[in-house]
Chain A
């Protein structure tokens, strides 16, 4: 009985982490999948959100900012807003640049953010990080606290999913697709390309901040190297590309799937003798990288192909079904 309970709790943790990564993947989908913006600095926006959540909700502590005692939902909102602000600043500068320049700039931003959190020790306790972060529902007894938290995460995922699906089929989403696939035509039609891209980048980053806030609560502690930033960024990209870019369901599927792969391989390799167990983390990263290369070459559209916004039959008086097409490379 004990064993099954253990599996049950593990399954809950898989779903929770998968859910948090789904939020990140959905955020990246807005930027990359729908708008074609390569954000290599996911970890930075994630960290901004995580630290905002942490510093606003933790009680007074000698070595970092604290004692503001904000309610958790409000802190999560603040996390989104702050990430959005940073994203706006970055995007304003870089949005006009070609995709690889944006990638370099965003990696740079993630590094700067990490340095700030590491160096401004008075605020963040530097490398030692912030701990004892209040977590939603933690007052409840086991397993209800875990279930409630999971419920919250999944609800958030569902809300984001619905909102993004709505946006995708709305004129906003269709303009995005137009910009991504034929920028010159969209510009000729008078669309403000930069403005749309800016919006997309900011919205996506806000979601990443939210993901960070959720993770901060779940882990109850964070530090500047929270889960090796580059690996986390990379993981989210792989999740999205494997699951299916430009497809919200693909984002969620990819997140759940790849997190399960990532986590279960960790369990498996931790059973190995010590010297192998330590090094196994590196093999896992390598394998994830290999999966990415394979998908990029053989099935770049991912598991679930892109869903194109269908024209609304009610508006057009047109009942013909519109087929989904595979993602076209830009």
Chain B
């Protein structure tokens, strides 16, 4: 069975500047895969590469076996990839419900039923459905961003630092939500700064440094690895392991 998403020796960057140098990674169906690494390692860049937001200089990206290298964002969405950027990931002047409707834009079906399902997954959003997304707290906004991306049952969900800037309480909640979504059947590729917590819930992880693969393994194996730990599992501004 081919992986849901494969990056095959991908070099990519902005214009002429190359940021990723031949990286390899794959995500199998039903997995949570986490990309961690120091700042500037190219983690977010890898995600943007999948979504056609950069110049792919070399290599290939495949979705369920089909090449999607350099495909424009709108088509990538239609093929079943959903992307939640790190910031500015909701339409602040639209209501929660309207945000969800926009998440289903490419489909001609009535989104009402799916919206109800989403509210089952994210109960706090139900009572806020008619409020502008901009009036919600950071954690709730993140929920809106993720649920918006889930509207069309994506084959794979790309999350770019979902807990960035959130209080510890919300961080835990978000990681729990990621697991819930995964349990409900979603395949997830996640970039995270909170490496330990992220690797804890992940099936597998990749460590990128300076745009290259450095380590890979199961979530637990990476947490236990000495070098990875030294690199940044204890040395970040997070509370110690």
**CB–CB under 8 A between A and B in the complex?**
no
